[in-house]
């Protein structure tokens, strides 16, 4: 068995019964179940959703995306061993904590396998809900250039790189390309202000203007829950991205929920507390991989400049990263997952075969 065998790189070719195209994102693939299978599972498993709710199987991969590109390693390694299982385990942990503390539900109904979620159909709010406790990353780059307004928020003078902000900031950006919103460019991932959202709340998929305050409250509460739990592990929750959506409760009413993933090394920056107090930033998140890429290639502007996307895609396609780089990233992901959850991340010898077996034998979703 090789390292490549332990990596689930391709996750859109599983023989899951579906009558719709498989939707494959950077990391996850979504298989929409047939109406009959959705209704059957809801009845058999007593999921707390209306009987006609569409369900999907969401399968995570070990692919690693950075700067909007998928990266690969030498020796045919198309991802990071253990990354998918680590991400799911961390999200599962936080979603459970949110529910226990009365914040809001998530889209997850069942967890058949460490790589797999059964989810209910949600209508996504078209906002990347970003929360920042420290000034770093894109906010620091803008600040260093002299910008003092960020997402409509005035920043004070005298801030230094990687320092704590005067208070928690919410700095939303668009999720997907939104057409026809005054003052909001029709490009993905562009910063927006609260006034942009208020003036066009239906364009962002909010059901009511009041739900803007609810999403902000859930974002802040979720951030605080994770930040407090990480602080007990001497880890600093620097910033993060949440996503929200609407589902129907059993009575058919709309409710706002957390969706996608939360508090993971992919969606957040997490710093080691002891090292930070000593004046060092040690990343326990994907930001460490991003920094490595910036240092690895002679022209980092290719990775930062959106106008050079074609060059960036060629860089990711034509360059295999050293195996020790991917194994180092694997250790970062697995270590932080084990720290957060208190449970070991076990590398599977053949994750695809395991997923097929459990979905066939326990859920009846594989033909043959």
Which pLDDT score, from 0 to 100, does residue 5 have?
A: 84
**Euclidean distance between CA atoms 209 and 213, whole angstroms:** 8
Q: What is the pTM of this model?
A: 0.95
Strands 64-66 and 123-124: unpaired
Specify whether the CB–CB gap between 233 and 190 falls below 8 A: no
Task: Give, as one character, the DSSP assignment of residue 77.
Answer: B
Specify whether the CB–CB gap between 41 and 55 falls below 8 A: yes
Report domain extents, the chain: 3-122+340-361, 124-277
**Residue 1 pLDDT exceeds 80:** no
Tell which phi-psi region holds residue 115, choosing left (phi > 0), alpha (psi between -120 and 50) or beta: alpha
Q: What is the pLDDT of residues 192-212, one digit of tens each?
A: 999 999 999 999 999 999 999
Task: Give, as one character, the DSSP assignment of residue 19.
Answer: S
Task: Identify the CATH number of the domain defined by range 124-277.
Answer: 3.30.470.20
Q: What is the pLDDT of residues 36-73, one digit of tens each?
A: 999 999 999 999 999 999 999 999 999 999 999 999 99
Specify whether the CB–CB gap between 212 and 237 falls below 8 A: no
3-state secondary structure of 69: strand
Tokens representing 308 are 């050079």
**Euclidean distance between CA atoms 260 and 281, whole angstroms:** 27
**Residue 33 pLDDT exceeds 80:** yes
Tokens representing 220 are 């802040």
CB atoms under 10 Å from CB of 332, counted, come to 22
Q: Which residues contact 30 (CB under 8 A, 6 or more apart)?
A: 22, 23, 24, 56, 57, 58, 59, 119
Measure CA 117 to chain center: 14
Provide the terminal-to-terminal Cα distance of the chain, rounded to the nearest Å: 27
Strand partners, 108: 119
Tokens representing 85 are 């299982």
Which pLDDT score, from 0 to 100, does residue 4 have?
A: 84
Tokens representing 86 are 């680590």
What confidence tier does 338 reach under pLDDT thresholds 50, 70, 90?
Answer: very high
**Euclidean distance between CA atoms 121 and 32, whole angstroms:** 9
Fold exhibited by the domain 3-122+340-361: Phosphorylase Kinase; domain 1 (3.30.200)
CB atoms under 10 Å from CB of 82, counted, come to 26
């Amino acid at each position: 068995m090789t390292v490549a065998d332990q990596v689930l790189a391709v996750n859109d070719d599983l023989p899951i019964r579906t009558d719709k195209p498989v939707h494959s994102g950077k990391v996850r693939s979504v298989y929409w179940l047939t109406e009959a299978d959705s209704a059957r599972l809801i009845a058999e498993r007593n999921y707390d959703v209306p009987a006609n709710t569409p369900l999907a199987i969401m399968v995570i991969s070990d692919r690693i995306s950075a700067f909007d590109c998928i990266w690969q390693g030498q020796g045919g390694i198309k991802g990071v061993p253990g990354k998918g299982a680590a991400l799911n385990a961390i999200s599962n942990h936080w979603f459970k904590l949110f529910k226990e503390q009365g914040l809001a539900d998530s889209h997850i109904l069942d967890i058949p396998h460490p790589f797999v979620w059964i989810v209910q159909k949600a209508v996504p709010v078209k906002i990347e809900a970003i929360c920042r406790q420290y000034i770093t990353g894109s906010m620091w780059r803008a600040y260093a250039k002299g910008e003092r307004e960020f997402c409509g928020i005035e920043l004070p003078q005298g801030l230094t790189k990687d320092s704590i902000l005067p208070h928690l900031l919410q700095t939303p950006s668009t999720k997907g390309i939104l057409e026809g919103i005054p003052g909001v460019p029709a490009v993905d991932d562009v910063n927006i202000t609260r006034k942009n959202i208020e003036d066009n709340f239906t364009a962002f998929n909010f059901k009511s203007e009041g739900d803007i305050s609810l999403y902000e409250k859930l974002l802040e509460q979720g951030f605080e829950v994770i930040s407090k739990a990480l602080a007990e592990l001497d880890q600093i929750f620097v910033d993060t991205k949440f996503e929200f959506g609407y589902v129907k409760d059993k009575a058919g009413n709309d409710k706002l929920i957390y969706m996608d993933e939360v508090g993971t090394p992919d969606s957040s920056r997490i710093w080691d507390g002891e090292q930070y107090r000593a004046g060092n930033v040690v990343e326990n998140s994907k930001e460490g991989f991003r920094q490595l890429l910036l240092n690895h290639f002679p022209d980092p502007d290719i990775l930062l400049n959106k106008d050079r996307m074609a060059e960036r895609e060629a860089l990711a396609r034509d360059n295999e990263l050293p195996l020790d780089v991917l194994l180092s990233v694997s250790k970062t992901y697995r270590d932080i997952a084990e720290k957060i959850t208190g449970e070991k991340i076990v590398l599977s010898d053949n994750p695809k075969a395991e997923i097929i077996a459990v979905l066939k034998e326990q859920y009846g979703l594989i033909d043959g």
